[in-house]
Amino acid sequence: MFVPVTHAQCIDEAIRSELNARRKYRGVQKRLFQKAGRHELSVMGGLYSADLLSSSYMVQGAYTFHFVEELGLEASFAYTRAQSDLVKIVEQDTSFTALRLDTPVYIYQGHLLWSLAYGKVRWFSGAVSRFDVHLALGGGVTDNQTAQGLTLSGGLGFKFLFTQWFALRFDVRDQILSQELLGVSEVVHNLAATMGFSVFIPFES
């Protein structure tokens, strides 16, 4: 059957338009959750595991300003306790009580947050939420009777973004510092693992 040339050209143009539309759909899409220019307030709690000390709880608060979509500056304060089963054993065996190691620990830090990935996840109920993966690099001061000098810190974090202003947050940070216990000074890697929630201001991105 003979098909007019003009009709065939119309069919070809329609196919091209459909293919172009599909390519655009598969391309990079605009983020539905925008962080640039917004303030983030976080409240977290978790576990503080130290090389020379016993593990203890940690509570933490943080403020982050996201000056671009991929980068943010974070200032944080954390509280935990310094305890050691080794010190207790030495005290029991030798009556050495010069160091009573059950004291508060205050951690002041600043980090640069770099968002590596952004995507979405579907939960069991069928609801869809977005997530953000970031690297943290920075440092600060660990204030207690066993710490000496500055603390370097780095780690990985996840945020599950449920609304335009609310997110669940999970962070793991490796804190490198010099600590002294029973007259011995060592460079240690203390691990802080926390989870909590974040509120973004303004509430609409």
CATH at 141 = 2.40.160.20
Our measurement of the distance from residue 4's CA atom to the centroid of its chain's CA atoms, rounded to an integer in Å, reads 63
DSSP string, 107-135: EEEEEEEEEEEEEEEE-TTS-EEEEEEEE
- Top-confidence residue, 163 or 122: 163
- Top-confidence residue, 128 or 110: 110
**Residues 80, 101: contact at Cβ < 8 Å?**
no
Start-to-end Cα distance in the chain: 58
* Residue 101 scores a pLDDT above 80: no
Report if residue 16 sits inside a domain: no
pLDDT the model gives residue 19: 59
Whole-angstrom distance, CA of residue 80 vs CA of residue 69 = 32
pLDDT the model gives residue 31: 63
Share above pLDDT 90 across residues of the chain, in percent, rounded to a whole number: 45
- What the block records as the tokens of 202 is 């303004």
Report if residue 2 sits inside a domain: no
Report if residue 88 sits inside a domain: yes
**Rounded mean pLDDT of 67-94?**
78
pLDDT the model gives residue 191: 94
> Kind and range of the H or E element at 193?
strand 184-201
- What the block records as the tokens of 85 is 């089963």
Whole-angstrom distance, CA of residue 137 vs CA of residue 154 = 4
Report pLDDT digits (tens) over 10-37.
656 666 666 565 555 444 445 667 888 9
Report pLDDT digits (tens) over 135-192.
999 999 998 877 767 999 999 999 998 888 999 999 999 999 988 776 677 888 999 9
pTM of the entire predicted model = 0.75
Question: Domain total for the chain?
Answer: 1
Report if residue 185 sits inside a domain: yes
Report if residue 175 sits inside a domain: yes
The residue among 125, 191, 205 whose CA lies nearest residue 161 is 205
* Residue 88 scores a pLDDT above 70: no
- Top-confidence residue, 3 or 17: 17
In this structure, of 39-48, 112-121, 126-135, 151-160, the range with the lowest mean pLDDT score is 126-135
List helix spans (H) across 35-126.
Answer: 85-94
Report if residue 14 sits inside a domain: no
pLDDT the model gives residue 27: 46
* Residue 76 scores a pLDDT above 90: yes
Report if residue 1 sits inside a domain: no
What is the rounded average pLDDT for all residues in the chain? 81
Our measurement of the distance from residue 21's CA atom to the centroid of its chain's CA atoms, rounded to an integer in Å, reads 37
Report if residue 17 sits inside a domain: no
Whole-angstrom distance, CA of residue 82 vs CA of residue 140 = 18
Residue 113 lies in domain: 36-201
